[in-house]
DNA sequence: TAGATTGTTAATCGATTAACAATC
DNA sequence: TAGATTGTTAATCGATTAACAATC
């Protein structure tokens, strides 16, 4: 892969860098690709119920999107429907699976076997979509040797040999944030070219490596934003009049605040600045989703 | 909240329904809201290192976005920077926290205490952002009474009283998919208006309730799509010539396939249709991320 | 003043949606 | 044939980005 480093190219919610990624290969828009798994899931459910065909309207409802969007999405894959009838469920399952690359086997390594690593190792959705857990890895000798989901937890030292021998191209990072970049570097060095990152860290990877991230805290913060706007719009803001004042006034206020040494801080802001200063129950630092800290 | 039901209005990757959500309240674009937590995280790190000011270029690099986008995003919040100087770190932490609603306390319930529920209960990022775990709930008597992250696991029966007494407006669903809609209904009925759903299910909620989902399997499938395109474009497709043939030919082929009873299936497609038929290691059904099945 | 950096403009790009002709 | 439903068009909307005037 290329040498030049670039900030991670993909993420979850909107998608910083989506436009830059080479991903539009064969012309399927990124937004469409992201919905294909939703359609596939809905189709799989229909298939299990032995439903032979489905209309765009029905399938769209099952997948939680609107039918025009679904038809547009499918039009990028080809004309797999029949006018006046709908789509053949089995055939569409096959086409979408193929398009997503799920007719291949994808060996995956999971690095960092804390609670989240355990949860992922046990995740049924992995195996049922062609993903196979090739190995569970951890740096903590206390964890290495134990087993999760019927697989032994192996030491980080084995990473390179496992990736090579099993042709692993996808890695999942469930370490604490402090270890994520190191782990990422080792994965990439070993030959992994797609990374799913659960650590709340921006990963830097070479060109040609895809990173997606799942960030639990961010999802909650987005909910909080909307929640705040529901509760009557002005819930209990500690907002100063100056904060909504015209430009010059605000600039002056900011300058004063700076001079005064951050007097505008509130509880949350102050705690962010010094996590050690707070006496809340959840004592772990931000993002310590898994238990152990690889070397 | 309103009576009419609608499919869930928000999700993760692109965002089906983003345009429809009332969320643009006070005019901050959804894409910007989704990035505010990233900026906040980067700013918090700078704050911990006692960095007083930061330029849009530096902060953008730390957050993994481009600086024009960052400045545009901040312009929706107000003019909090100083030309020629940059942004005051503490002040910006405060402003973003306030905008996201993080200066308030948000009690949260987590329903379904399997591995993932455990992982979330232990997640440090919760407490450090004003989120407080008000209760852990499960329907399985074997789990109820145990403790996770220092909190007792309580029975689902207590859901309504907890939500009411502690004014919980945010619920996290980490149950198996089969239980998710029921749990969702109870949460909503009890007064919860924001839901973070980890179960691979499309939830139906009344207007006024926000749903975001985190879907591990979907993220992996998106990676697989891109990965497939890296390995030389035509990896080992089981693709028939007919699949890329012009419309009429393809339609005829599909019809034949239908008549023949789904002969186009491959391994992945066949297993999707009948999960019980497969002999893979991950024996759990799709999406059984957590251990127990609430009533 | 000279250098630095913001905040905003305007152009561009990608995604969504309604509508409907094509066609089963 | 009449009814149903796809696949595509075109309009609209929202997000991204480069560029630069404003201004510290």
pLDDT band for position A1 (cuts 50, 70, 90): very low
Position A279 confidence tier, pLDDT thresholds 50, 70, 90: very low
For the residues of A260-273, what is the DSSP string, one character each? HTSTT--HHHHHHH
Kindly report, residue by residue over A10-21, the tens digit of the pLDDT: 333 333 333 333
Higher pLDDT: A288 or A206? It is A206
Owner of token pair 């000011």: B53
In this prediction, what percent of chain A has a pLDDT beyond 70? 69
Confidence of residue B173 (pLDDT cuts 50, 70, 90): very high
Distance from the Cα of B80 to chain A's closest Cα (Å) equals 7
Q: Is the pLDDT of residue B15 over 50?
A: no
- From chain B residues 107-166, the ones with a CB under 8 A of any chain A CB are 108, 114-116, 118-120, 122-133, 149-151
* 3-state class (DSSP) for residue A235: coil
- CA A277 from centre of chain: 31
Contact B101/A284, CB-based, under 8 Å? no
The span from the CA of A202 to the CA of B35, in Å, is: 13
A252's CB contacts (< 8 A; 6+ apart) are: none
Q: Do B63 and A214 touch (CB under 8 A)?
A: no
- Residue A125 has a pLDDT of 75
Assess whether A71 (CB) lies less than 7 A from strand C.
yes
Percent of chain B with pLDDT over 70: 69
Q: When comparing pLDDT for B17 and A77, which is higher?
A: A77
In 3-state terms, what secondary structure has residue B173? strand
Which of the pair, B260 or A98, is modelled with greater confidence?
A98
Mean predicted confidence (pLDDT) in B68-72: 98
Mean pLDDT of all residues in A81-98: 97
A71 CA to C19 C1' in angstroms comes to 14
Residue A136 pairs in a beta bridge with: A110, A153
Mean pLDDT along residues B238-259: 40
Mean pLDDT of B90-101: 97
Specify the pLDDT at position B90. Answer: 98
Instruction: List, as one string, the DSSP characters of B62-96.
Output: HHTS-HHHHHHHHHHH---EETTTEEEHHHHHHHH
Name the segment(s) of chain A with CATH classification 1.10.10.10: 26-100
* H-assigned helices in A192-245: 216-230
Tens digits of per-residue pLDDT, A170-202?
999 999 999 999 999 999 999 999 999 999 999
Q: A78's torsion region: left (phi>0), alpha (psi -120 to 50) or beta?
A: left
Q: Is the pLDDT of residue A272 over 80?
A: no
The larger pLDDT score, comparing residue B206 to residue A231, is at B206
- Least confidently predicted of A52-56, A195-199, B122-126, B267-271: B267-271
Enumerate the CATH 3.40.50.720 domain ranges in chain B, comma separated: 105-255+284-295
H-run or E-run covering A247: helix A247-260
Q: Is the pLDDT of residue B271 over 60?
A: no
The H-assigned helical ranges of chain B are: 30-48, 56-63, 67-77, 89-100, 115-121, 124-127, 159-165, 177-190, 216-230, 247-260, 267-273
**pLDDT tens, residue by residue, A28-78:** 999 999 999 999 999 999 999 999 999 999 999 999 999 999 999 999 999
6-25 in chain A: CB under 8 A from chain B = 7-8, 10-16, 21-23, 25
Q: For residues B104 and B268, which has the higher predicted lDDT (pLDDT)? A: B104
Which of A116, A220, A268 is facing B97, going by the closest CB pair? A268
Closest alpha carbon to A42 in A66, A59, A67, A65: A59
Q: What is the pLDDT of residue A212?
A: 96
Q: Is the CB of A37 under 7 A from strand C?
A: no
Instruction: Give how far the C-alpha of residue A274 lies from the chain's centroid of Cα atoms, to the nearest Å.
Output: 27
Return the number of CB contacts < 8 Å for A and B. Answer: 458
User: In angstroms, what separates the C-alpha of B156 from chain A's closest C-alpha?
Assistant: 22
Does residue B86 carry a pLDDT above 80? Answer: yes
A104-217 domain in CATH 4.10.80.40? no
Relative to beta strand B151-155, strand B147-148 is antiparallel
Contacts of B261 (CB under 8 A, 6+ apart): none
DSSP characters over A30-58 = HHHHHHHHHHHHHHHHHHHTT--EE-HHH
Between residues A128 and A262, which one has the greater pLDDT? A128
Q: Confidence band (pLDDT; 50, 70, 90) for B130?
A: confident
pLDDT attached to residue B232: 61
Q: What integer pLDDT is reported at residue B63 of this predicted model?
A: 97
Rounded percentage of chain B residues whose pLDDT exceeds 90: 64
Q: Which residue has the higher pLDDT, B294 or B224?
A: B224
Cβ of B22 less than 7 A from strand C: no
Which of A105, A125, A167, A212 is the mutation pick for testing B, counting most B CBs within 10 A?
A125
CATH topology of domain A26-100: Arc Repressor Mutant, subunit A (1.10.10)
Least trusted range by pLDDT, from A89-93, A203-207, A233-237, B111-115: A233-237
Task: Compute the CA torsion angle B140, B142, B148, B151 (nearest 10 deg).
Answer: 80
Q: Cβ atoms within 10 A of the Cβ of A142, count?
A: 9
Least confident of A6-10, A52-56, A143-147, B139-143: A6-10
pLDDT, residue B18, reads 33
Distance CA B1, CA B158 (A): 22
Return the pLDDT at B26.
Answer: 56
pLDDT tens by residue, B189-246: 999 999 999 999 999 999 999 999 999 899 999 999 999 998 764 433 333 444 433 3
| Segment among A205-214, A271-280, B63-72, B202-211 with least mean pLDDT | A271-280
Å between CA of A282 and C1' of C14: 41
Angle, helix B89-100 to helix A216-230, in steps of 10 degrees:
60
Q: What gap in Å lies between CA A246 and CA A290, rounded to an integer? A: 46
Fold of B105-255+284-295: Rossmann fold (3.40.50)
**Section B4-21 average pLDDT:** 35
Any A CB within 8 A of B290 CB = yes
Instruction: Assess whether pLDDT exceeds 60 at residue A155.
Output: yes
User: Tokens representing B16?
Assistant: 């089906």
């Amino acid at each position: 892969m290329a040498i030049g480093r670039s900030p991670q190219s993909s993420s979850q919610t909107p998608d910083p860098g989506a436009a830059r990624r080479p991903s539009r290969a064969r012309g399927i828009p990124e937004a469409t690709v992201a919905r294909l798994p939703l359609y596939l899931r809905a189709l799989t459910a229909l298939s299990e119920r032995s439903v032979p065909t489905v209309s765009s309207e029905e399938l769209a409802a099952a997948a939680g999107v609107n039918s025009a969007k679904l038809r547009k999405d499918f039009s990028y894959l080809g004309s797999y429907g029949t006018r006046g009838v709908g789509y053949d469920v089995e055939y569409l399952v096959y086409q979408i699976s193929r398009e997503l690359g799920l007719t291949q086997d994808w060996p995956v390594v999971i690095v960092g076997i804390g609670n989240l690593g355990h949860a992922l190792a046990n995740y049924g959705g992995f195996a049922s979509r062609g993903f196979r857990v090739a190995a569970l890895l951890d740096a903590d000798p206390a964890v290495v040797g134990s087993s999760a989901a019927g697989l032994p937890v192996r030491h980080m030292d084995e990473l390179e040999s496992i990736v090579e021998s099993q042709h692993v191209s996808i890695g999942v990072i469930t370490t604490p944030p402090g270890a994520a970049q190191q782990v990422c570097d080792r994965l990439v060095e070993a030959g992994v070219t797609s990374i799913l990152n659960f650590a709340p860290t921006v990963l830097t990877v070479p060109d040609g490596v895809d990173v997606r991230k799942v960030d639990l805290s961010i999802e909650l913060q987005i909910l909080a934003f909307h929640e705040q706007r529901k509760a009557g719009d002005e819930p209990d803001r500690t907002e100063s009049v100056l904060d909504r004042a015209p430009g010059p006034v605000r600039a002056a206020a900011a300058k004063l605040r700076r001079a005064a040494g951050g007097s505008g801080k509130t509880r949350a802001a102050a705690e962010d600045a010094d996590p050690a200063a707070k006496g809340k129950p959840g004592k772990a630092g931000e993002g310590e989703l898994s238990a152990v800290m690889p070397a």
